[in-house]
Structure 1
């Protein structure tokens, strides 16, 4: 058990009780979201609704480490009495964002383009994500356990590649679009979502053990056909045993997997609702 009391850092701005939240630094080695929030707040916007800006994992952020005890984005809804710091922080973050439309920022090794993740069963999350300018929305519920997106009206966003300066600019743009669409600030001109493609992941793409020389051939969100090579190494090539759409695939992002197998659901929020909500609106 650790001794110090810990909690997410929360700044609340705007009139009334906050019902919007912007979350960053769930992983302590991903400062993009925090830097984007700083850019937004430095411009001194006039808030018309209450908004919470939350640093989710302060101790890992101070240490510049992904996590200290366990991966926070795999232990939701958390446990306020747990020994692991991230489990306690996860429970506190769920309580802090209860009743809030929420976006949370990460970065990835896979693609420079922002990707939004939701969990099926929450129509409000789909409404939120349909109004922000990102080209890819992915339902992660069937494969990823314990993610923040599973806790409620939450959209988790990979803003771009780790360490790339333009990832901060993209995250800032997405924060401003979210706040503008929710009428928390007024941006001119208004920002509109591009054509958005909806996907779901259904399996992991494992890396063969004992061979660290693999080069990834597949490109994220470009369909791999059955029999097509998606990676190669000195030992040979890996061929797809079925068609799939690569999602979050990279050579170095994960230890034991390349990423995930996905399938395209459609090109509208209505397509996604039909697939994930049984037509519920």
Structure 2
């Protein structure tokens, strides 16, 4: 329970209790609960999405709210990591300079532009998915779960690029048991929604691993910013997968018919 609360309060704006004496090892042990945090966030998004859609339907405003919900619930934690990653990873500099840029608390114009483009794509995907409300609600539910499982894989499968930092504690304490538990949570949450959602989970995993492998080759490992970038990009990949499923007649059978509004 302590690890779950630590993960919840670290990854979101939800504060339940005071934890003044946490150690770096406590944060490291909380990695196994990342997908449970995703489950909490997904449940909140599903509930809010259901209420809003029931009363207002899909519109530009409701689509914007759905895109903003993950940012409001997490305080933009992963968005900051995404922008720092773009600034550093695609700067064309040396490995050492990339890491310096990513550590800089200031955000560059490249990161801001990339984040704006990502939000615009998310908005367009959510607006299109509004034509299939069940698909949209399922996507809102599962994408924070799948994205945080991708984070767990990033933490466990790739070395930490810096000699010290919280991310190093995450990596050192994320063993096979952590990955197995996080994966089981993601799989249990995906299975009831059919093969289309299992495909979305597979896409999230493969996309996250491909991006992390690319980043690790350039930096010699990953950082906390890259964990956040993995989460943000994986959520977009999940939305894009559902968008493909509702637009390709050959793929709609994977949704089992519940895409029909």
Name the TM tier (shorter chain): under 0.3
Normalised by the length of structure 1, the TM-score is 0.26
Normalised by the length of structure 2, the TM-score is 0.27
Higher relative contact order (CA closer than 8 Å, sequence separation 6+):
2
Select the structure that is richer in helix: 2
